[in-house]
Amino acid sequence: MAVLDILIYPDERLRGICEEVVDFADSQLQQYIDDLIDTMHAGPACVGVAAPQTGNKIRMVLMDCSLARKPQENNHGQLVVINPVILNWSGMEVAREGCLSLPDYTGNVMRAVDVTVQFQDRHGKEHALSMTDFEARVLQHEMDHLDGKLFTDRIVSRKADLFRRKVRGVKKKKPPQQ
């Protein structure tokens, strides 16, 4: 297993539309899934990663909201979500998002609060799950990557809703007083 390189904006490979996965018996696909899991776990406070973020143009995302700094109780744990389709959604809420492909920024994005998604797992088995709050937001964020969208495409104002990421754990020294 390996940690894969994450594409960083403005890399144009982040902007393409991904193809559906059809061959679930492919051993290379299964190895790639394992590598993507390692990649997600290696990212700082990472709860999701999409295949196109590593340059692979397939409709697959991985997510695990139990890895969040403050995980919500009602999450589904680690999910391999292949060929996802949102069946329905409700409610809207603005919240802050970040992205491995835009490591220096966060932004306020409006997303559905509740979603039901249909997808296939790593073996091709069909599933439908309802997600809410943070987990629903993570799913929508990662699914945007499958259509070449970044969270910055969804913010209302780059001036008011895009922020430089704060570096945690680094204290700036105070200048000496004279």
Instruction: Please list the active-site residues.
Output: 142
DSSP three-state, residue 110: strand
Residue 96 β-bridge partners = 108
Please state, in angstroms and as integers, the Cα–Cα distance from residue 17 to each residue in 26, 46, 55, 122, 150, following that order: 22, 23, 12, 20, 12
Nearest to 148 by CA among 23, 9, 40, 27: 9
Please state, in angstroms and as integers, the Cα–Cα distance from residue 1 to each residue in 4, 5, 28, 37, 49, following that order: 9, 13, 12, 9, 16
Nearest to 61 by CA among 10, 113, 131, 108: 131
Angstrom distance (rounded) from CA 160 to CA 5: 31
Q: In 25-123, where does DSSP find H-type helix? A: 27-42
